[in-house]
């Protein structure tokens, strides 16, 4: 397939909805449909084993580790999600992350995962450990212990200890999370997880982990500290910056003057429903960045498509995510990102000579996703360059959603459409 053909249909991803299918929108659907179109056009040769180098655990039609999605095989919630995904797009099928998410159960896995709260909290703290996220870790350590996870297992995750002596499921969850952190899930790890949990529960668990990766991004960008009366339990490879406000315990004011909220607004997750109250004390929590976000359309109007594409490229690069990088690079070229700027991101090169906004956006992303810690100086530069609203939108509506997608693409080893050349250097 020609690059220009791919470019014409590719748009960037917007924010995903945590519990349930992400809304059908032009950004997610056009990219999924383009990948779908490519897969369909090559279906005949792929089904005969076209020999384009796919690993043995990657299906030739879906081009990932899951079989192709058919509407007839889905439960009612996922049938509705499927219908929303293809609405107005006759003859297309979901592809990439859209297709992966259709293999979910449809349950709210934050609370109701079929693997149980004990193991779902283990999955959450494993991701918090991999992203060095102290707020997320500390609250979910307390939840994990409260729902029965053994303190000894928590210590294995906290200190990245060997997995010898753990149960098969516990060891596999931790290993899966560690390989997500390393940006490559080995075939044997995936096969073991599939055998132990089954396809649907594995997709649910991976989706849960991907969402908490995105949550961690929001928390780290905001530099969210624990409330003064609560202890932080995660050892970190850095000292957290002290550029926080006294009331929010983060960089983000409690109230956005443009959209006033109740003084106690905040916290993490839904606090409604039976047995569903979280431990996050308002006004702290990952919702702080979103208080100032106005949406992707607002960001595009203010900063332009090229900077949005650049933020997405930085995210894909820091996750070593070939599928996300390649499709996003094609769109970035179309949206006016200079080839020299793309190459700076691709090669992890210095930002010397770039425009101020490009340079600070790349540095912000490298610290957020690579160091898991945005320095006070870099945050101040980014806020001065973009303003709090647009900076929040870069995090909430570009970087965090791409992080969620990159985790899923990595777990299920999503490969590019047949014939599309990879544009990111291959890892050894």
The residue ranges of every structural domain in the chain are 3-107, 292-411
Of 378, 407, 398, 386, nearest in space to 335 by CA: 398
Report whether 10 contacts 4 (CB < 8 A). no
The per-residue pLDDT for 46 is 39
Of 249, 290, 283, nearest in space to 266 by CA: 283
CA distance 413 to 180: 11
Q: How confident is the model at residue 87 (pLDDT cuts 50, 70, 90)?
A: confident
The number of angstroms, rounded, from the C-alpha of 397 to the middle of its chain's C-alpha atoms is: 11
The per-residue pLDDT for 281 is 86
What secondary structure does DSSP assign to 80-98, as a single string?
HHHHHHHTT-TT----THH
Which of 14-28, 139-153, 302-316, 340-354 is least confident?
14-28
The per-residue pLDDT for 271 is 53
Is the whole model's pTM more than 0.85, yes or no?
Answer: yes
Query: Which ranges of 223-338 would DSSP assign to H, the alpha helix?
Result: 287-290, 296-303, 305-318, 322-334
Q: How confident is the model at residue 259 (pLDDT cuts 50, 70, 90)?
A: confident
Q: What are 288-340's pLDDT values in tens digits?
A: 999 999 999 999 999 999 999 999 999 999 999 999 999 999 999 999 999 99
Residue entry with tokens 């973009």: 386
The per-residue pLDDT for 266 is 46
Max Cα-Cα span within the chain: 63
Q: How confident is the model at residue 156 (pLDDT cuts 50, 70, 90)?
A: very high
Beta bridge mates, 389: none
CATH class for the domain made up of 292-411: mainly alpha
Q: What are 219-232's pLDDT values in tens digits?
A: 999 999 999 999 99
Angle between helices 356-366 and 305-318 (to 10 degrees): 30
Q: How confident is the model at residue 86 (pLDDT cuts 50, 70, 90)?
A: confident
Mean pLDDT (whole number) for 376-404 = 98
The per-residue pLDDT for 274 is 66
Q: How many CB atoms lie within 10 A of CB 428?
A: 3
211: left (phi over 0), alpha (psi -120 to 50) or beta: alpha
Of 107, 105, 81, nearest in space to 94 by CA: 81
Question: Cβ contacts of residue 245 below 8 Å, gap of 6+?
Answer: 251, 252, 253, 254
Higher pLDDT, 86 or 46: 86
**What is the total residue count of the chain?**
428
Mean pLDDT (whole number) for 150-171 = 98
Question: Cβ contacts of residue 193 below 8 Å, gap of 6+?
Answer: 172, 173, 176, 202, 205
**pLDDT higher than 50, residue 272:** yes
The per-residue pLDDT for 372 is 98
Mean pLDDT (whole number) for 83-88 = 81
């Amino acid at each position: 397939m020609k690059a220009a053909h791919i470019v014409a249909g590719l748009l960037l991803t917007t924010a995903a909805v945590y519990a349930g299918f992400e809304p059908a929108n032009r950004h997610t659907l056009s990219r999924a449909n383009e990948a779908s179109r490519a897969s369909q056009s090559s279906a005949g040769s792929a089904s005969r084993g076209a020999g384009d180098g796919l690993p043995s655990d990657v299906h030739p039609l879906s081009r990932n580790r899951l079989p192709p999605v058919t509407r007839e095989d889905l439960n009612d919630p996922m049938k509705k999600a499927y219908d929303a995904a293809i609405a107005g797009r006759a003859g297309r099928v979901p592809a990439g992350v859209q297709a992966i998410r259709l293999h979910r159960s449809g349950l709210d896995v934050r609370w109701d995962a079929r693997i149980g709260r004990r193991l779902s909290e283990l999955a959450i703290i494993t991701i918090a450990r991999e992203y060095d996220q102290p707020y997320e870790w500390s609250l979910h350590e307390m939840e994990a212990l409260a729902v029965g996870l053994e303190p000894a297992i928590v210590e294995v995750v906290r200190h990245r200890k060997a997995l010898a002596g753990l149960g098969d499921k516990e060891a596999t969850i931790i290993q899966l999370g560690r390989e997500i952190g390393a940006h490559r899930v080995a075939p044997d790890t995936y096969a073991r997880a599939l055998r132990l949990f089954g396809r649907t529960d594995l997709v649910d668990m991976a989706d849960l982990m991907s969402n908490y990766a995105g949550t961690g991004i929001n928390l780290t960008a905001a530099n969210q500290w624990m409330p003064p009366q609560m202890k932080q339990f995660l050892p970190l490879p850095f000292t957290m910056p002290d550029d926080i406000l006294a009331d929010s315990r983060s960089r983000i004011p409690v109230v956005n003057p443009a959209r006033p909220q109740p003084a106690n607004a905040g916290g993490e997750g839904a606090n409604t429903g039976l047995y569903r109250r979280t431990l996050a004390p308002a006004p702290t929590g990952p919702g702080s960045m979103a208080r100032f976000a106005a949406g992707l359309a607002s960001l595009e109007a203010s900063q332009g498509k090229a900077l949005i594409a650049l933020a997405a490229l930085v995210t894909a690069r820091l996750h070593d995510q070939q599928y996300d990088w390649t499709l996003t690079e094609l769109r970035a070229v179309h949206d006016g990102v200079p080839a020299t700027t793309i190459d700076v991101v691709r090669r992890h090169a210095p930002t010397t000579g770039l425009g101020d906004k490009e340079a600070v956006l790349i540095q912000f992303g490298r610290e957020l996703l690579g160091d898991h810690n945005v320095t006070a100086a870099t945050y101040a530069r980014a806020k001065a360059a973009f303003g709090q609203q647009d900076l929040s939108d870069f995090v909430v509506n570009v970087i965090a959603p791409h992080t969620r997608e990159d985790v899923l693409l990595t777990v299920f080893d999503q490969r590019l459409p047949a014939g599309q050349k990879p544009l990111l250097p291959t890892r050894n």
